[in-house]
Structure 1
Amino acid sequence: MADDNTKSKDEDFAIDDIELLKDSVHFGIITALPEELAAMEAMLENPRQIFMPGSGAGRHYCLGKIPSSNGSAHLVVLTLSKVGNNMAANRATLLLQHFPNVKSIIMVGIAGGIPNPTKVDEHVRLGDIVISDEKGVVQYDFDKETVDSVEHRHSPRPPSAELLEAVLYLEKDTIAGKRPWIKYIDHGLEKLSSRRPPEEEDILVSSDDPNIQIEHPADAERIKNEPRIFSGTIAAANKLLKNPVKRDYLRETFSVKAVEMESSGIADATWGRGIGYLSVRGICDYCDSKKGNIWQKYAAVIAAAYTKALLESMPSDEPTTKCTSGSMGIFNEMKSTLTSIDEKVSTLNTEPIKVSDAISSIYKRDLKNAENLLNQNKPEEAFDFLNRFKDDVWSNAPDDVKYEILRFMASAKLKLLQNYESGSLLIEAFQYNPNDEKAIYNRALGHLLRDEPEDAKSCVDKVLEKNPAHNNAYAILIHLSSDTEDLEDIILKIPKAERNTLEVAFAMGTVARKRNNFSKAKEWYKIAYDCDDNDSPDIKANLAESMLSELFSEYPVPHISIIEDEKREILEKIAEMLTEVWN
């Protein structure tokens, strides 16, 4: 029988787990439609559904990670508000109550675009992205109306200065030819089984006569089948706009680039709490009689993809360490770092990465430099170096060198918590070494990282045909196990001779930890720790975390001062292990 602490990943977090995590969340993301929610959730790493304590609606969140520019990750919460400014404001208020350390909320989803065919640099088209600029959001239904005139009375609510700065730096990168959101668009479309609609579906008609089609102006800045990015004022109201005359009025009066129904509510709710906001919108219609659903899913994906790229370009906040004394101080310090320990599949990191001895000396020196950067835990530097090296040598490099470059790049991405990208690189690398046992295994790992279990299982079977004692392949089999399968049943699938190996034990520990079965996680991580000849920080950190989590389950935080001496010694041992990892 499974331990009572065993839990499916689809179940709620326990209240204690939420308490540990909620103070580490610094960004909230709100969507209004289910397709927007699905698109944004597809961008998160390790997404988990949680329910905050209390009663009534508004407690359901998706908690996940987005990699950050400093090699760590942002812990973000995602939720659904329903349509309208009132609902969005209410949802934002609840989110800020549930996660008091959130510093900005991003409203992500679809919107109507404001075309301007006479000014190509202001001509927003279907499939483009609009981000709110420093003027923020205009609530165009907040006005004073008399028989003779309409006086608009919206209050300016500038977005987050930090997020606006990040938008500007992404714009700078675009000038240099970097568009990091493109790969996330491809990922999101694949996840949602969708595609970009054909250009023939981007139909603009005259504001005066819907039977007259308007040609889009030639635009040298556009890249075929990619969104163009605009920053500008966004208009919002509690009305669904299908009036091109009113659309053009908003353009001429407020210079708006998009129209939607939620962001002024977000702006008001965040302004009242003294925190930031931003609106990121994918354009799905022109607010006219042609308004329909054809572009909606694509628009939701591109908004989500840009949001991920934006957050990924920003550093995450470092954990705060309080100078307190005694066991309570140690406890709080370790508690604040719990969420910094990666939940990724760490199979690639259980041993130092090494250049193959068979590589030609012409390329070996550069690959050795990348190897050193990776083993010094400098994945960003390693990836940038490898990217430049790849550009220089790719056209003439032999297949074994191409394989090594892609394998090293995958390792860098994995260390940066970019699992999907790491998996894609491993799968790409396979074509350059298709008969090699390790390459087949890496392909299996790639499919696992991309959440493609059937493909991963097929590759694992091929590895085990070649080598029935391949411990890493068994580790992947463990990760592929059903969430409802007992831990005891999972280990029985592994040959007895391989059960107490480092790779198998580490995988079992990770699966047990994901189910919140901390005693079993500790047991398996201890086996991996005893087998480890390389003093891997990943293994040590996960063992320490499982020990700490088990202790949390016995002693709620308010009563930590009453723990007995034996438990204090365990706490001190955990602190010692984590200090070694941090150093």
Structure 2
Amino acid sequence: MNKLQPPSDPQRPASRRDFEIAIMCALVHEADAVEALFDHYWDDDCPPYDKATGDPNAYSIGAIGRHNVVLAWMPAMGKASAAAVAANCRASFPNIRLALVVGVCGVVPINREGQEIILGDVIISDGVVQYDLGRRTLLDSLGRPNMEIRSLLTKLKGFRGRKTLQEKAARYLAVVQQEPGLAAQHPGVENDRVFHATYRHVTDGKLCNECGCNGILVPRSRFNGANPPSPVVHFGLVASSDTVLKSAEDRDATAQQEGVIAFEMESAGVWDIFPCVVIKGACDYADSHKMKAWQKYAAATAAAYMKAFLDSWAPSQLSLPGT
């Protein structure tokens, strides 16, 4: 049991119909970080919940704080996989009221307001656009979240809400990092480098320090403080595409045109099926200089903010028959 959590754990749900929160992860280390923050595993108790007929999904079922949750493990990345997993999840858990797409993403290093985003920071969506990054065209604006989600996001954007969210996330991140098998430690600020958009990676398949990337770096003032810097939360528009973005020039053009601050591949598949919030950690700058070294740390920061977000989630009560 996680000792950071107050002793108000939910009761074991009687059936699959009693679950209202789903978490979707596309990569194993994303789901590992989420599971590390479970306060109880209903999977370990009998009888099992099983699944609806024909549902091929794999689930981890448990409690995070006062919420019963179901974690869906996606078999692959991308919108199509996410849509299929979400649809099958809805068949097995028909009363889901909130889906959290949790994991890693590429980010814009400096948003339109001039704020720096560094690796390990976390993006929480207040909207999603579906984008064809190959043709740099907007396919569809998937709209805003519902009023219940928007109200909470507005509260969390306030000074006290943001401060509380970041303080809780810091504590939960420490819990994930106590699991040695997850290797979720900060990779070091020396490995967080942003090259000017026109400078491309020298050799595919090798890290920058292996192939001699030596372009002009974008200066980062966030590195002048604590080392390592604490992950900061950013609220904004997320672009969801079927392909991984590896072009800083396309990144900057898309960010300028649409105001997006992050790029990922799953949320568009979930958005039309469940009320949805994207919570993802920055693991690269959506350019050609990608490094997997940041993925586990970014997955951990995303999971930490996910749990902090759920601490604030208080859905309205459903009316019971006869009330």
TM range (shorter): 0.7 to 0.9
Deviation, 1:227, is: 0.8
Residues 250 and 299 (structure 1), Cα distance of their counterparts in 2 relative to 1, 3 Å cut:
same
> 2:105, 2:189 → 1: CA distance?
18
Aligned to 1:259: 263
Question: In structure 2, which of residues 60, 82, 98 is the aligned counterpart of residue 88 of structure 1?
Answer: 82
Task: Render the CA deviation track for 1:118-143: whole Å, top value 9, x for unaligned.
Answer: 9642x22111111111xx11111199
1:200 aligns with 2:190: yes
What is the SS of the residue equivalent to 1:30? strand
Question: In structure 2, which of residues 71, 96, 110 is the aligned counterpart of residue 116 of structure 1?
Answer: 110
Aligned to 2:64: 66
> 1:159, 1:222 → 2: CA distance?
35
**Matching residue's letter, 2:257:** T
Range 177-186 or range 99-108, more displaced: 177-186
Question: In structure 2, which of residues 106, 121, 131 is the aligned counterpart of residue 128 of structure 1?
Answer: 121
1:75 aligns with 2:68: yes
Question: In structure 2, which of residues 176, 190, 193 is the aligned counterpart of residue 188 of structure 1?
Answer: 176
**Matching residue's letter, 2:123:** V
What is the SS of the residue equivalent to 1:65? strand
Matches within 5 A, 1:29-40: 29-40=23-34
Aligned to 2:210: none
RMSD over equivalenced CA pairs, Å: 2.8
> 1:246, 1:33 → 2: CA distance?
25
Residues 222 and 127 (structure 1), Cα distance of their counterparts in 2 relative to 1, 3 Å cut:
farther
1:311 aligns with 2:316: no
Q: When you count strand as a share of all residues, which structure comes out higher?
A: 2
Task: Give percent identity, aligned residues only.
Answer: 29
> 2:288, 2:124 → 1: CA distance?
25
**Matching residue's letter, 1:309:** A
Residues 207 and 19 (structure 1), Cα distance of their counterparts in 2 relative to 1, 3 Å cut:
same
Matches within 5 A, 1:137-216: 137-141=128-132, 152-172=138-158, 173=160, 179-191=167-179, 192-210=182-200, 211-216=214-219
Residues 323 and 252 (structure 1), Cα distance of their counterparts in 2 relative to 1, 3 Å cut:
closer
Matches within 5 A, 1:285-364: 285-315=284-314, 322-323=321-322
> 1:195, 1:308 → 2: CA distance?
18
> 1:202, 1:142 → 2: CA distance?
24
Note the residue ranges of structure 2 that are not aligned, 5 or more in a row. Answer: 1-11, 44-48, 201-213
Matches within 5 A, 1:346-495: none
Q: Is the 8 A contact 1:120 1:217 kept in 2?
A: no
What is the SS of the residue equivalent to 2:293? coil
Task: Render the CA deviation track for 1:188-243: whole Å, top value 9, x for unaligned.
Answer: 12122431111111011111124313233325997652111111111111101111
Query: Normalising by the residue count of structure 2, what TM-score does the alignment of the two structures yield?
Result: 0.80
> 1:220, 1:160 → 2: CA distance?
37
Task: Render the CA deviation track for 1:232-260: whole Å, top value 9, x for unaligned.
Answer: 11111110111111111111111111111
Deviation, 1:320, is: 6.0
Q: Is the 8 A contact 2:131 2:137 kept in 1?
A: no
Q: When you count helix as a share of all residues, which structure comes out higher?
A: 1
User: Which structure has the larger Rg over C-alpha atoms?
Assistant: 1
Residues 213 and 47 (structure 1), Cα distance of their counterparts in 2 relative to 1, 3 Å cut:
farther
Query: Normalising by the residue count of structure 1, what TM-score does the alignment of the two structures yield?
Result: 0.46
Deviation, 1:22, is: 1.5
What is the SS of the residue equivalent to 1:109? strand
What is the SS of the residue equivalent to 2:199? coil
> 1:25, 1:221 → 2: CA distance?
44
> 1:265, 1:23 → 2: CA distance?
23
> 1:232, 1:175 → 2: CA distance?
14
Aligned to 1:243: 247
Aligned length: 288
Deviation, 1:297, is: 0.4
What is the SS of the residue equivalent to 2:149? helix
> 2:258, 2:16 → 1: CA distance?
38
Q: Is the 8 A contact 1:132 1:159 kept in 2?
A: no
Residues 241 and 153 (structure 1), Cα distance of their counterparts in 2 relative to 1, 3 Å cut:
closer
Residues 183 and 263 (structure 1), Cα distance of their counterparts in 2 relative to 1, 3 Å cut:
same
Range 312-321 or range 79-88, more displaced: 312-321
Task: Render the CA deviation track for 1:408-442: whole Å, top value 9, x for unaligned.
Answer: xxxxxxxxxxxxxxxxxxxxxxxxxxxxxxxxxxx
Deviation, 1:89, is: 1.0
